[in-house]
């Protein structure tokens, strides 16, 4: 096994003259790696001693001395030379002779291999015992489930009325021990989410459905306190229909926390629009929920206890999909930058999780400037996101790690706009003011790549971007009749999904669809740290409360999130949509979306001429790549010359 350059070959328990060591350990312990100094050097200003390897990687004195030099420490060498160390073979040697002895000591190598073998055998035995226990628990749970099934089937009755089919069914509530037993393996047959500990789940003994508390609550039907429920719809992939279930009422005795309150405590939904509501300032706004999810999920992999819970309340249990880049027009990348002086502090298991589950690039960097990080982000976003970090951030010796996500899309529309049809048109701002904006146009479209929905409250337009390697993104504009900020305040993912169901493809209209939508281009910096704290993620930003023990041992460093950044850009034109985002989590604490008869066509007009909210999402998975608001599009006065003059091009 290779020995690291700065790794000592003995520990404190191998020292023979311990009283001597106790008297000098404050002098001979390195302030950077906290271990016994190897090849000691000292700062000529503060006189502190360090390992030469540690100070070469850090480059600066951790005590922030300026105009300093590092010289060999003769005093420290002299103190070390008097240490007496005992080898496992029984030989006692001084510090200077010990390393050469270890290179030729065969007994030491044998003992080390033997120790590793014993550990592996013990681990194997523990795993076998754990497997036997799990098999027994699974068998007990199957017996318990069969008992409930047999009990409830005897009470089931069926009858059919003229208008609906009704059935009676008993409802099984799993006990706490049952929930804990199946926590990692059971999931809701409706929403596919894993069951939560301490929150009851439900099993329908008639249709064999397992439902989480949320889905059971949504399925409540009040029918004169009857236990009847009606067959609603077939659920894909399941043999039985989904059944509306009577929901038990929990009394809140002695001010006990109700299950509904517990759900609010342990889970949170609507992450995609949280920041839209927090920064709802009637200005153009943009961020990428998907990028932030990736960054927070990678951070959560290293968290434990309340730090994990706070993040989990915001992003939930579902990890974003593992994305594989195969086209330059749409890219997603994850990165982990580690200061080379602190690389050995970061646990290998955490690094491997980010590599295996997030395709993260792990990069050792000197952190002498932000140039390498900024170039990485710029490369991953096709040159769009520049200079996301300043030199001041990475040069801070307390900063040792950066967790980064970057994504970009530059895709043309499935149906492109004609520049000759773009002109100036009135746009009505939220305050009633009229401005002339650069308005793009399509007329008489009968193509399934464009769809719409209109009612008394909102006008919705969706346009497909060209498919790239099985990724189909769509743009959705939602223009409320009243002011946009009030709509944003109450928008939810459930509402967006309902709108999706109501959309009518332009191909199904008899006269086609006329589209009017303005151009826009802007960038936006989300106040990510402030927003996360407002959402309840607070422990991660406090050095005293943050628990990232899956990244670094707490007894070595108390690391925390010193800052979090999110930068975005979007350009919406006749050709297509170009957007990019980057999220950076800065880790500190490393120092002490049939013709009929002839008549005059009456096409449907979809005109986006008031402030609107927009979404760019994966049409299949519904993952939201970007979302934002437009209160002020491109002014026609600024763009008019490029459309009127033939010498101007795209």
DSSP character string of 152-180:
HHTT--EEE-SS-EEEE--EEEPPHHHHH
Q: Tokens 């002695």, residue?
A: 254
Under DSSP, is residue 260 helix (H, G, I), strand (E, B) or coil?
A: helix
Residue 390 belongs to some domain of the structure: yes
Residues 497 and 399 in one domain: no
Residues 363 and 335 in one domain: yes
Q: What is the pLDDT of residue 550?
A: 94
Residues 477 and 428 in one domain: yes
Residue 351 sits in a domain whose CATH number is 3.30.497.10
Q: Could you tell me if 103 and 1 are in contact, meaning their C-beta atoms sit under 8 angstroms apart?
A: no
Residues 352 and 299 in one domain: yes
Sort strands 285-287 and 202-204 into parallel, antiparallel or unpaired.
unpaired
Residue 137 belongs to some domain of the structure: no
Residues 526 and 514 in one domain: no
Regions of the chain with pLDDT less than 50: 1-6, 152-185, 205-206, 220-269, 593-599, 650
Among candidates 293, 313, 402, which has minimal Cα distance to 358? 293
Residues 284 and 294 in one domain: yes
Q: What is the pLDDT of residue 88?
A: 72
Q: Could you tell me if 338 and 346 are in contact, meaning their C-beta atoms sit under 8 angstroms apart?
A: yes
Tell me which long-range contacts 343-346 makes (C-beta under 8 A, separation of at least 24): 344/4, 344/6, 344/33, 345/400, 345/552, 345/553, 345/556, 345/557, 345/590, 346/401, 346/551, 346/552
Cross-strand bridge partners of residue 143: none
Q: What is the pLDDT of residue 62?
A: 79
Sort strands 70-72 and 330-339 into parallel, antiparallel or unpaired.
unpaired
User: Phi/psi of residue 421, each to 5°?
Assistant: -95, 0
Residues 433 and 511 in one domain: yes
H or E stretch at 55 = helix 52-58
- What's the start-to-end Cα distance of the chain, in Å? 60
What is d(CA 4, CA 52) in angstroms, rounded to the nearest whole number?
Answer: 14
Residue 389 belongs to some domain of the structure: yes
Q: Could you tell me if 591 and 601 are in contact, meaning their C-beta atoms sit under 8 angstroms apart?
A: no
Residues 514 and 558 in one domain: no
Residue 89 belongs to some domain of the structure: yes
Q: Which domain holds residue 46?
A: 12-104
Residues 258 and 238 in one domain: yes
Residue 387 belongs to some domain of the structure: yes
Residue 478 belongs to some domain of the structure: yes
What is d(CA 130, CA 116) in angstroms, rounded to the nearest whole number?
Answer: 21
Residue 120 belongs to some domain of the structure: no
What is d(CA 26, CA 32) in angstroms, rounded to the nearest whole number?
Answer: 13
Last residue of a domain, one of 104, 120, 138: 104
What is d(CA 384, CA 377) in angstroms, rounded to the nearest whole number?
Answer: 9
DSSP 471: B
Query: What share of residues in the chain are helix, strand, coil (percent, to 5)?
Result: 35, 30, 40
Residue 31 sits in a domain whose CATH number is 3.30.40.10
Residue 129 belongs to some domain of the structure: no
Last residue of a domain, one of 231, 266, 301: 266
Helix-helix angle 289-300:305-315, to 10 degrees:
160
Q: How far, in Å, are 421, 439, 603 from residue 516 at the CA level?
A: 10, 6, 13
Tens-digit pLDDT profile for residues 226-280? 333 333 333 333 333 333 333 333 333 334 333 333 333 333 447 889 999 999 8
Residues 445 and 463 in one domain: yes
Last residue of a domain, one of 41, 73, 104: 104
Specify the number of domains making up the chain. 4
What is d(CA 650, CA 640) in angstroms, rounded to the nearest whole number?
Answer: 13
Residues in the chain: 650
Residues 505 and 551 in one domain: no
User: Phi/psi of residue 349, each to 5°?
Assistant: -65, -40
What is d(CA 205, CA 148) in angstroms, rounded to the nearest whole number?
Answer: 8
Q: What is the pLDDT of residue 468?
A: 82
Residues 475 and 398 in one domain: no
């Amino acid at each position: 096994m290779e020995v690291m350059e700065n790794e000592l070959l003995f520990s404190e328990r191998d020292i023979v003259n311990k009283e001597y060591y106790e008297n000098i350990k404050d002098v001979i312990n390195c302030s950077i790696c906290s271990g016994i100094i190897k090849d000691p050097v000292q700062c000529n200003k503060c006189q502190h001693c360090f390992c030469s390897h540690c100070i070469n990687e850090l480059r600066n004195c951790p005590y922030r001395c300026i105009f300093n030099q590092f010289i060999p420490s003769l005093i420290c060498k002299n103190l070390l030379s008097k240490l007496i160390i005992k080898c496992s073979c029984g030989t006692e040697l001084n510090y200077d002779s010990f390393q050469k002895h270890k290179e030729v000591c065969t007994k030491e190598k044998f003992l080390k291999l033997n120790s590793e073998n014993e550990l592996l055998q013990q681990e194997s035995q523990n795993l076998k015992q754990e497997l036997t226990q799990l098999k027994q628990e699974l068998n007990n749970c199957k017996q318990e489930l069969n008992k409930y099934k047999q009990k409830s089937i005897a009470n089931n009755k069926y009858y059919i009325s003229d208008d609906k089919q009704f059935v009676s069914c008993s409802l099984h509530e799993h006990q706490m021990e049952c929930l804990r037993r199946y926590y990692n393996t059971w999931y809701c047959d409706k929403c596919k989410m894993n069951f939560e500990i301490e929150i009851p789940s439900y099993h329908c003994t008639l249709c064999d459905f397992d439902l989480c508390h949320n889905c059971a609550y949504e399925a409540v039907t009040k029918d004169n306190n009857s236990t009847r429920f009606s067959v609603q719809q077939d659920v894909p992939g399941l043999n039985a229909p989904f059944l509306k279930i009577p929901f038990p009422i929990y009394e809140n005795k002695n001010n006990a926390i109700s299950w509904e309150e517990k759900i609010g405590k342990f889970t949170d939904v609507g992450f995609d629009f949280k920041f839209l509501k927090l920064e709802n300032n009637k200005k153009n706004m943009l961020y990428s929920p998907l990028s932030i999810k990736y960054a927070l999920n990678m951070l959560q992999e290293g968290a434990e206890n309340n730090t994990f819970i706070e993040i989990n309340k915001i992003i939930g249990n579902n990890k974003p999909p593992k994305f594989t880049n195969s086209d330059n027009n749409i890219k997603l990348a994850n990165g982990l930058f580690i200061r080379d002086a602190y690389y050995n502090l970061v646990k290998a298991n955490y690094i491997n999780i980010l590599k295996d589950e997030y395709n993260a690039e792990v990069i050792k960097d000197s952190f002498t400037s932000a140039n390498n990080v900024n170039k990485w982000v710029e490369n991953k976003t096709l040159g769009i996101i520049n200079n996301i970090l300043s030199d001041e951030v990475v040069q801070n010796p307390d900063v040792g790690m950066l967790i980064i996500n970057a994504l970009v899309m530059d895709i043309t529309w499935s149906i492109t706009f004609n520049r000759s049809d773009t002109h100036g048109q009135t746009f009505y701002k939220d305050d009633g003011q009229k401005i002339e904006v650069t308005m793009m146009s399509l007329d008489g479209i009968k193509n399934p790549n464009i769809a719409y929905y209109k009612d008394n409250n909102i006008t919705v337009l969706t346009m497909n971007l060209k498919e790239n390697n099985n990724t189909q993104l769509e743009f959705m504009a939602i223009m409320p009749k009243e002011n946009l900020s009030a709509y944003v305040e109450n928008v939810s993912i459930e509402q967006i999904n309902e709108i999706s169901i109501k959309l009518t493809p332009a191909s199904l209209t008899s006269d086609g669809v006329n589209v009017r939508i303005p151009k826009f281009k802007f960038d936006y910096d989300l106040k990510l740290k402030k927003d996360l704290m407002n959402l309840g993620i607070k422990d991660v930003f406090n050095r005293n409360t943050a628990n990232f023990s899956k990244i670094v041992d707490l007894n070595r460093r108390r690391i925390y999130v010193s800052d979090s950044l999110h930068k975005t850009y979007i350009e919406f034109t006749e050709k297509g949509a170009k957007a990019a985002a980057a999220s950076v989590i800065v880790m500190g604490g490393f120092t002490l979306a049939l013709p009929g008869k002839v008549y005059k066509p009456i096409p449907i007009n979809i005109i986006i001429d008031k402030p609107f909210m927009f979404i760019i999402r994966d049409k299949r998975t519904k993952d939201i790549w970007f979302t934002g608001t437009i209160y002020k599009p491109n002014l026609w006065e600024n763009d008019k010359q490029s459309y009127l003059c033939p010498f101007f091009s795209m």
